[in-house]
Amino acid sequence: MAKYEVNLKINNIPVTVEEGSTILDAAKKLNFRVPTLCQHPDLCVAGNCRVCVVEQKGAKALPAACATPVSEGMEIFTNSQKVRTARTHIIELLLSEHNSECTSCYKNGKCELQALANEYRVNENLFIKLVDKNTYTIDNFSPAIIKDDSKCIRCQRCVRTCASMQFVSALAVSHKGDKQKISTFFDKSMNDVVCTNCGQCVNRCPTGALVEKNYIDQVWDAVNNPKIHVVVQTAPSVRIGLGEDLGLEPGNRVTGKMVSALKRIGFDSVLDTDFSADLTIMEEGTELLTRLKKALVDKDETVALPMTTSCSPGWIKFIEHKYPSLLPNVSTCKSPQQMFGALAKTFYAQKKGLKVENMISVSIMPCTAKKYEADRPEMRSSGFKDVDYVLTTRELAMMIRQAGICFEDLPNEKYDSIMGESSGAAVIFGATGGVMEAALRTAYEIVTGREVPFANLDIVPVRGFEGIKEAKVLIKDVLPEWGFLEGAELSCAIAHGLANANKLMAAVVSGEVNYHFIEIMACPGGCLGGGGQPIPTSPEIRAKRMEAIYEEDANMAIRKSHENPEITAIYAEFLGKPNGHKSHELLHTHYVKRKGY
Amino acid sequence: MTDVNVIINEKIEKFGKERQALMPILQGIVADKNYITEDELLLVAETLDLSAADVYGTATFYTFLDVVPRGKYVIRVCKTISCHMAGKDQIIDTLEKTLSIKLGETTTDKKFTLLQANCMGWCHKGPVMLINDEVYPELTPEKAIAIIAEYIAK
């Protein structure tokens, strides 16, 4: 049904928009920027910060542009004197309840409230500063996220993110009036509640109230210590996101420059998580085929199917809290980060003749949950903490700026060896559907001896931003040893964002759906939209990052995990075979049931 | 005191298992126990399939849904302007001395909690206090002492 069009005037300029549009949409269409704080392109309308108020001719009150639908004949002024005065007061009121120690704030220079205060040249002393009168706690018990209530302006972006995008609701609004705050259950630490550490709230917090716990100083200490050998691994999505935090447009692929920058910062060896992503495909693919064989041939009814992926630590914590009965369905494979960490302090150390106690292993991740994952007690297969420090894409950008490196002018350099070689199948781990595509490219070929039947190996049905995707692959003319799969149709599903994951899991539990293999990523769009990626984020930005990921894949010489020569070599030299004894010792893990809040 | 499961099930029967049952359940628990414990809030959240943080948020929004331990008798003295002008400060003073507690505290025998409240609509008969659900208007320090003595004797 066609939507009606509505005609209105903004700042005396006529504009026509679809009915149901907001004043903010109409203003945007005319390129008038109305400031916003609680509004976010990924979230529902809240209308609680009031900075987007505008003047409407004939109306007494100033409507909030983000929450007011347009109507026929409306005349709006986005920047009248009345609006400017009101807006300045609103910002001053917000600041009266905000700890404005900007110079020592982690978000200094990246804070939306600070930017507005700058733009509106606020008068600091007009309202009584309430911050000094209240007591606040800083919750820094979580290894991933710091919550500082003194910087919170109660815009509730985090609450909406946690509820609607992630279906976690670790954060909610508690108390009222001047006591109103964003709390967890009984105001416990974020570390003690259902929080998955996905960091989507951090991505959307306009101030410094929710930030990642940063390990920048520890990493500088390590790289500056000549006795320590520091290895760094970079996740697939970092190379397509990093540029945004260093002045480039979204969608820039900066792999070579990033490697260059890491070498200049002083890391002894710059290696690639993509290598262990390829390894994950070998391990997880083998695990899936083994489970299928047990179920189909041995008729073993204890085999848990569908099998789900385990790369996303946000997803792992989610299922541990919310669907503990499905834990046997989760692949026992560690995430690529942890596989890399375990191998860095065993295989790599042996090959390079290094003492493990003189090694520090750092990872650059698009993710805050990876910080929590690296801290899990299970992740010490080498006898040491396998990954010592996890930095987000944003922290790396900060280090690059601190190092005085002019990023745009850097030459493209190549990853070091060993554990620096990778395939296109690994880089697409960064996009929702990528692990599925990579797994299918390899598993199909193992079973049939032929490439997957898709042009250029691009398995298009598993790509894109649809919340839950499905794909079916018919397996025929198999190799003799895989006879039991002849004519079978492999049924797969993919979800990204935990709200979608929840829908899919509810359907699995109720038996409505029947899949063999499910890929889940906790963040919207997959890791490319991760909680450690540059801020801001929006559907448009994530779409550009996704394009860049598939471009990166298309430009790789090797496109399939099992063809990565370093993968073949590590199995021949060190691991034996996928899912073998050594693999189980180093590359696989187990999960724990957690409480429901 | 009634088992909390009984209260929850009673309210669910009447109001359904949806979100709209949340307030009656919380009110039911407070009516019976004067405050809601962490475990009870969690049980409510699990039963109604709501986020625990959300249930906590709802409970803390309402002054009368206490989530911190309260005495058997919760005294709430009106703090708004009419009662203030009618001498609520002397009443609070008297109560503090009589019960040997400060505002916001609970007696060691867990019998009384002393709190302030916003307007109860008894401005014409201030100062006024509430003990659980009972209203006591036109208070004087002497009257307040006598009322407390009755409750102590209970």
Please write the tens of the pLDDT for every residue from B66-91: 999 999 999 999 999 999 999 999 99
Q: Which residues in chain A are closer than 8 Å to B56, comparing Cβ atoms?
A: 172, 174, 183-187
The ipTM estimated for the assembled molecules is 0.90
Whether residues B86 and B148 share a domain: the answer is yes
Distance, in angstroms, between A321 CA and closest chain B CA? 12
The Cα–Cα gap between A83 and A77 comes to 8
Whether residues B88 and B32 share a domain: the answer is no
Flag whether residue A183 sits within 8 Å of chain B, measured between CB atoms.
yes
Whether residues B38 and B106 share a domain: the answer is no
**Whole-number pLDDT of residue A123:** 78
Flag whether residue A29 sits within 8 Å of chain B, measured between CB atoms.
no
Q: Greatest CA span in chain A, whole angstroms?
A: 81
Whether residues B36 and B77 share a domain: the answer is no
- Tell the CATH superfamily of the A283-333+427-586 domain: Fe-only Hydrogenase (Larger Subunit); Chain L, domain 3 (3.40.950.10)
Name the helix (H) or strand (E) containing A340.
helix A336-343
Whether residues B108 and B146 share a domain: the answer is yes
Percent above pLDDT 90 for chain B: 92
Whether residues B87 and B142 share a domain: the answer is yes
Whether residues B83 and B133 share a domain: the answer is yes
**Whole-number pLDDT of residue A557:** 95
Please indicate whether residue A55 is annotated as part of the active site.
no
Nearest CA in chain A to B67: A186
Please indicate whether residue A585 is annotated as part of the active site.
no
CATH code assigned to A225-275+337-409: 3.40.50.1780
Q: Which residues in chain A are closer than 8 Å to B67, comparing Cβ atoms?
A: 186
- Closest CB to A186: pick one of B38, B54, B61: B38
- Cβ separation of B57 and A193 shorter than 8 Å? no
Contact indicator for A560, A425 with CB cutoff of 8 Å: yes
CATH topology of domain A5-79: Ubiquitin-like (UB roll) (3.10.20)
The Cα–Cα gap between A412 and A405 comes to 14
Flag whether residue A184 sits within 8 Å of chain B, measured between CB atoms.
yes
Which residue in the list A97, A284, A320, A437 is annotated as catalytic? Answer: A284
Outline which parts of chain A fall under CATH 3.10.20.740.
Answer: 5-79
Nearest CA in chain B to A185: B53
Interface test with A, best of B49, B51, B54, B68 (most A CBs within 10 A): B51
Which residue in the list A112, A244, A283, A373 is annotated as catalytic? Answer: A373
Residue ranges making up the domain that contains B149: 73-153
Q: How far apart are the first and last CA of chain A?
A: 43
Nearest CA in chain B to A175: B61
CA atoms within 13 A on the CB side of B143: 12
A185-206: burial string, b at 16+ Cβ within 10 Å, e else: bbbbebbebbbbbbbbbbbbbb
Q: How confident is the model at residue B154 (pLDDT cuts 50, 70, 90)?
A: confident
Interface test with B, best of A159, A166, A168, A169 (most B CBs within 10 A): A169
The Cα–Cα gap between A473 and A493 comes to 11
- Closest CB to B42: pick one of A174, A183, A597: A597
Flag whether residue B100 sits within 8 Å of chain A, measured between CB atoms.
no
The Cα–Cα gap between B42 and B47 comes to 8
**Whole-number pLDDT of residue A132:** 78
pLDDT in tens, chain A (597 residues): 567 999 999 999 999 999 999 999 999 999 999 999 999 999 999 999 999 999 999 999 999 999 999 999 999 999 999 999 999 999 999 999 999 899 999 999 999 999 999 999 887 678 888 887 778 889 999 999 999 999 999 999 999 999 999 999 999 999 998 889 999 999 999 999 999 999 999 999 999 999 999 999 999 999 999 999 999 999 999 999 999 999 999 999 999 999 999 999 999 999 999 999 999 999 999 999 999 999 988 889 899 999 999 999 999 999 999 999 999 999 999 999 999 999 999 999 999 999 999 999 999 999 999 999 999 999 999 999 999 999 999 999 999 999 999 999 999 999 999 999 999 999 999 999 999 999 999 999 999 999 999 999 999 999 999 999 999 999 999 999 999 999 999 999 999 999 999 999 999 999 999 999 999 999 999 999 999 999 999 999 999 999 999 999 999 999 999 999 999 999 999 999 999 999 999 999 999 999 888
Nearest CA in chain A to B44: A597
Whichever domain contains B112, its CATH number is: 3.40.30.10
**B136 located within any domain:** yes
Domain count across chain B: 2
Pairing state of beta strands B129-131 and B112-117? unpaired
Burial of B154 by CB count in 10 Å (0-12 exposed, 13-18 middle, 19+ buried)?
exposed
Whether residues B80 and B145 share a domain: the answer is yes
Architecture of domain A94-212: 2-Layer Sandwich (3.30)
Which residue in the list A112, A287, A320, A395 is annotated as catalytic? Answer: A287
3-state secondary structure of A13: strand
Contact indicator for A576, A587 with CB cutoff of 8 Å: no
Distance, in angstroms, between A180 CA and closest chain B CA? 8
CA proximity to A342, closest of A358, A327, A356, A328 = A356
Q: Which residues in chain B are closer than 8 Å to A165, comparing Cβ atoms?
A: none
Which residue in the list A75, A92, A378, A486 is annotated as catalytic? Answer: A378
Whether residues B82 and B148 share a domain: the answer is yes
**Helix, strand, coil share of chain B (percent; to 5):** 55, 10, 35
The Cα–Cα gap between B50 and A337 comes to 34
**Whole-number pLDDT of residue A82:** 96
**B104 located within any domain:** yes
Whether residues B57 and B81 share a domain: the answer is no
**Whole-number pLDDT of residue B126:** 87
Flag whether residue B120 sits within 8 Å of chain A, measured between CB atoms.
no
- Cβ separation of B41 and A186 shorter than 8 Å? yes
Flag whether residue B65 sits within 8 Å of chain A, measured between CB atoms.
no
- Closest CB to B46: pick one of A193, A194, A596: A596
- Cβ separation of A185 and B53 shorter than 8 Å? yes
Pairs of residues, one from chain A and one from chain B, whose beta carbons lie less than 8 Å apart: 57
The Cα–Cα gap between A566 and A417 comes to 9
Nearest CA in chain A to B50: A169
Nearest CA in chain A to B66: A175
Flag whether residue B61 sits within 8 Å of chain A, measured between CB atoms.
yes
Distance, in angstroms, between A171 CA and closest chain B CA? 6
**B66 located within any domain:** no
Burial of A339 by CB count in 10 Å (0-12 exposed, 13-18 middle, 19+ buried)?
buried
The Cα–Cα gap between A528 and B108 comes to 56
Q: Which amino acid, residue A267?
A: F
**Whole-number pLDDT of residue A296:** 87
Contact indicator for A287, A579 with CB cutoff of 8 Å: yes
**Whole-number pLDDT of residue A126:** 83
**B68 located within any domain:** no
The Cα–Cα gap between A11 and A380 comes to 62
Query: The tokens of A534 are what?
Result: 């540059």
Whether residues B28 and B91 share a domain: the answer is no
Flag whether residue A11 sits within 8 Å of chain B, measured between CB atoms.
no
Outline which parts of chain A fall under CATH 3.40.950.10.
Answer: 283-333+427-586
- Closest CB to B45: pick one of A173, A174, A597: A597
